[in-house]
Chains A and B, each alone.
Chain A
Amino acid sequence: MSTAWAASPSELLMRAATKAAGRRRSPIRRRLTLIAGLVMLGIAILAVLLAPVLVSQSPTTIDALHPLVPPLTAGHLLGTDQYGRDILARILYGGRIDLAIAFGATSVTLVGGTFIGLVAGYLGGRVDSVLMRLVDLFFAFPFLVLIIAIVAMLGPSIFNMFIAIWITSWVSYARIMRAQTVVAKKQQYVLAARALGYGPLRVMFRHILPNTASAVIIFSMVDAVGNIILAASLGFLGLGAQPPSPEWGAMISDGQNYILSSWWLATMPGLAVVFVGVAFSLIGDGLADLLRAGER
């Protein structure tokens, strides 16, 4: 009953990617997407971790003598903002916040949602219908609005943003995993495992999970793109990281005030978001190709 109802754009994109994966592609090209994505993400993570080595400026030191310096100036590759803070330094240090949110939010909801979906699908009955009605309920709210409302009530901060994402984002994983489990439950290997007398826990985690996890793993990459954008969005609205911490969305929001004279303030951090987003997208596409092709 709930299948035709709301599926997030990310879920639909994942389905499209997995469908496309059926087509024959050379093994090298198939891996190329994945490798490109991993390399891009690797560069982003290294750059963010090695920020103190890569740039000499601090992201929060104010330099009143050099405000709004354009990009490609000596000492300021990407220019400076209205307080003379180096934008490259702010992007690199700020990336720590955004990447941490992408990983922290995605991994927790991946594990939690998968677990809930697995249990609901396997046990069925009342547990299943209660959990799935709960999932439907979350899908009735516009995702961002619900997150904003929760952050509003808890008070704007990065930690509360985590909580809001954790509360709301597990539902997609639960639904995908449940659908997988319901199908797997009737298959020979599960029946065989049960016939051998294995308990539900063992069947769920040793048999069903390894055979069906690819769908949620692929989805988690699409979801990570969403979470990066979400982190930046909340920062942009002033509901995430608070100033002067150099979060990408907050930087874009600051930069919008200077759009008429200094375009680089808002543009540069956005490019960083797109870079990381594309990296996760490519990894997702590559994984879909690899895992799904192996299944067939």
Chain B
Amino acid sequence: MSRFGSLPRRLVHLVIVLFGITLVTFFLLRLIPGDPALAILGSSYTHTRAVAIDNFLGLNRPIWTQYGLFMGRLFHGNLGYSFFYNEPATTVISQHVAPTLFLVVYSAVLAALISFPIGFVAGLHRGGVLDQSSRIFFTLSFAMPAFWLGIILILLFSVHLHVFPISGFGSGFIGHLYYLFLPALTIALGFSTVLVRSLRSATIATLQAEFIDTARMKGIRWPLVLWRHVFRNAILAVVAVYGVNLAYLISGTVLVENVFSLPGLGTLLVSSVSDRDYPVVQGVTLLFAVLIVAINLLTDIVQAALDPRVGQEIGA
């Protein structure tokens, strides 16, 4: 059995999910009650314009032909035309990708830096001070809306302490790091809840494994056992959790971008909703879904690469 034994099956699965994603995004537009052309045009409705939109979206054709048209345009990288920006939706969307990607990666790294030490130590000293206090803290943070936490952080660090800016993206890599620190911290704190809890229980489980006793009997120093045997095995169990939640982190991004008025996809999504810019809404939804599928696939590959047992278990 090869190390990546389950991957081909995963890839087939992936194609099915991608197909489903296009179906869902296509039907999103059909959820608009009444005449989509009317909804899109709003007060600037004229019969000629409505006919033009009907023609462009293919609304006067059978539904499956419409889906075919949609897919055909999709394969050419055409997501439709933004009615609000008067530009192709792809152009509008691509202008907003950078801040979001930066924020996602930044907060993922920050979350790892926060939660790995805490989760590991909490697992080693179960019931200890850090374990108890982190449990209370993360119970609270789980019940906290990300956008509210962001506002509280602004209140603390920007309004009172004047350490970080209230909003904006900054310029240059260092500038981005500085400007995006509070937004990234907001997302990372929410993300950490799950990471700390799962690393904690993985650490507890690993400590009870027999190979830890073996290592100690061989006379290896305890700190070395902790690092080489406990931490590295415990972190394996967290990789899947990490990848899955990276996908959920994106939901947090949408909110937090709006709190800090960052020019990212989340802000674009929400403003397009109020502008009734349906092609952009459709495009952003599609892009996010593809991003998540990619992250999930990447998690699978990383997991299989790190832990030979994974590929075999699933492939068997």
Query: A: which residues have CB within 8 A of B?
Result: 1, 4-9, 12-13, 16, 19-20, 133, 136-137, 140-146, 148-156, 225, 228-229, 232-233, 236-239, 249, 252-253, 255-256, 259-260, 263, 266-267, 270, 273-274, 276-278, 280-282
Question: Counting CB contacts under 8 A, is B177 at the interface?
Answer: no
Q: Which of B81-89, B139-147, B179-187 contacts A (4 or more CB under 8 A)?
A: B139-147
Please give the number of chain B residues whose Cβ is less than 8 angstroms from any Cβ of chain A in the complex.
Answer: 61
User: A142–B144 contact, CB under 8 A?
Assistant: no
List the B side residues contacting A145 at CB < 8 Å: 250-251, 254, 269, 284-285, 288-289
Partner among A143, A239, A266 whose Cβ is within 8 Å of the Cβ of B148: A266
Per the 8 Å Cβ criterion, residues 182-210 of B in contact with A are 193-194, 197-198, 201
Chain B contacts of A133 at CB under 8 A? 16, 20
Least CB separation from A255: chain B residue: B151
* Cα A150 to Cα B241 with chains together (Å): 27
Confirm or deny: B248 has a beta carbon within 8 angstroms of a beta carbon on chain A. Answer: yes
A1 CA / B250 CA spacing, docked (Å): 24
Who on chain A is nearest to B141 by CB? A274
Binding site for A on B (CB under 8 A): 9, 13, 16-17, 20-21, 24-25, 28-29, 31-33, 139-140, 142-148, 151-152, 154-155, 159, 193-194, 197-198, 201, 240-241, 244-245, 247-248, 250-251, 254-255, 258-259, 269-270, 272-274, 278, 281-282, 284-285, 288-289, 292-293, 296, 300, 314
Name which of B9, B142, B272 has the most chain A CB atoms within 10 A of its CB. B142
Chain B residues whose C-beta falls within 8 Å of the C-beta of A9 in the assembled complex = 193-194, 245, 248
Q: Is the CB of B248 within 8 A of A143?
A: yes
Q: Please, how many angstroms separate the alpha-carbon atoms of A239 and B255 in the complex?
A: 12
Contacting pair B274 A142 (CB below 8 A): no
Contact yes or no, A237 B144, CB < 8 A: no
CA distance A278 to B29 in the complex (A): 37
Contact among B16, B28, B144, B245 with A270 in the assembled complex (CB-CB below 8 Å): B144
Q: How far is the CB of A4 from chain B (nearest CB, A)?
A: 6
Is there contact, CB below 8 Å, between A236 and B251? no
Name the CB-closest residue of A to B258: A237
Contact of B314 among A4, A19, A155, A236 (CB under 8 A): A4
Let me know if B270 and A252 touch, CB within 8 A: no
Q: Do A140 and B155 touch (CB < 8 A)?
A: no
Cα–Cα distance between A232 and B150 once the two chains are bound (Å): 14
Q: Would A19 and B201 count as touching, CB distance under 8 A?
A: yes
The reply to whether A1 and B33 form a contact with Cβ atoms under 8 Å apart is: no
How far is B254's CA from A239's CA once the two chains are assembled, in angstroms? 13
- The answer on a CB contact under 8 Å between B17 and A249 is no
Instruction: Assess the A252–B147 pair: CB atoms within 8 A.
Output: yes
Contact across chains for A277 and B142 when beta carbons are under 8 A apart: yes
Contact among A6, A8, A151 for B273, CB-based, below 8 A: A151
